[in-house]
Amino acid sequence: MNAICFGEVLIDQFPTYSRVGGAPLNVALRLKSFGVDVNMISSIGNDKEGKEIMDFINASGLNTQSIQTYEEAPTGIVDVKISENKNANYDIKYPSAWDHIFLNEVDISLVKNSDVFIYGSLSARDFISKTTLLNILPHAKFRVFDVNLRSPHYSFKDLSLLMNEADFIKMNDEELYEIVEHFGSKYNSFDQNIKFISDITNTDYICVTKGAFGASLYVKGEIINNNGYKVDVVDTVGSGDSFLASLIFKLLGNSKAKHAINFACAIGALVASCKGANPEFTESEIKKFIRS
C-alpha cells in the first residue's frame, strides 16, 4: 500500500516544550509505522523551524521530495494549550508556508500512482493551497477527507466542496452536529445524521469519533460501533490523526469493518495516554492493549 498526505506541517508549541506536528503529517507518520509507503505534500519556510521539520521527517524515514520551501512566509507555528480536561486548544498562525503549496506534475504523478490520498479542511484556508488541492483530487483513486474545524479557518462553502470530492469522510461528533445543522438536517438521532451526511455528499464511507466513547463507522448503509477504551489521558493531541491512519490502514488492507474500528480506537486511546502526537508502539504492545 502507498499513500499521499496533503497539507500542513508545523511546530506545535506547548507551554513547556515543542514538537513537530500537523494533522496530515501525524497521519503519515502513523501509516509509516505500519509499513506503508508514504509521501507528504506540504511546504515549509526557509527558517530554523523548517530545518527542524525536515530533519525530523528525514529521521522518520518519510519521503520529503514533495515538501516545498516557500521563502515569503514562515514555517507553520501552532500555540497549543491543554485544558483541565486534557483537551487541546490551538492558536494556528496565519499566514504560514503550508498555505502556499504549489501544483506540480511530479506530485500529480505521485497521486495517480497512490492507493489513497488523505487531505484535511485546514489546508484549504488559503487560496493557493486550496487551488492545488482541488486540482490534485481528480487524480486520486481513493480520497479520504479529514474534517478539522478550527475557527476561524474554514467556511461551509469549502467544507461542502471538499466533502463532495471525498470517498471517505472522518469527523468528530461536535463537527457532525455543527455541519448537519448548517446544511439543514431535521434529525436528532446520531445515526440519522451520519446517514444525512452520506446522502448530501453521496459518500459511502463516514466515520465519526466520540472521544472517550469510541467511534461509529458508516459503511454503505451499515453503522459499526466501538464504545472506546478506558485510559488515563495525558493529552489528546494527534489522537484523532493516529485513529484515522489506523482505520484507513486496516480498511484498505481488507480487514472487516468491526476489526478496523476496534483497532483504530485502540491506537487513538494509546496516543491519548501518552505525551505528544506521535508516540511509538510495538505490535505486541498494541495487541496486549486490545486484549486487555
Q: Which of 40-44, 60-64, 73-77, 284-288 has the lowest mean pLDDT?
A: 284-288
Domain ranges, residue 232: 2-7+26-40+102-291
Does residue 65 fall inside a structural domain?
A: no
- Give the number of C-alpha atoms closer than 13 A to the C-alpha of residue 64, restricted to the C-beta side: 16
Is residue 97 assigned to a domain?
A: no
Residue 45 belongs to some domain of the structure = no
Position 269 in a domain: yes
Query: Is residue 193 included in any domain, yes or no?
Result: yes
Mean pLDDT of the chain: 94
Residue 60 has pLDDT above 80, yes or no: yes
DSSP 49: H
278 lies in a domain? Answer: yes
Q: Write the CATH number for 234.
A: 3.40.1190.20
The pLDDT score that the predictor gives to residue 86 is 66
| String of DSSP letters for 198-241 | HHHHT-SEEEEE-GGG-EEEEETTEEEEE-------S--TTHHH
**Between 272 and 170, the higher pLDDT residue:** 170
233 within some domain: yes
**Residue 197: inside a domain:** yes
Give the number of domains in the chain: 1
List C-alpha distances in Å: 52 to 58, 60, 101, 124, 268. Answer: 10, 12, 19, 24, 26
Report pLDDT digits (tens) over 35-45: 999 999 999 99
pTM: 0.95
| pLDDT tens column, 127-145 | 999 999 999 999 999 999 9
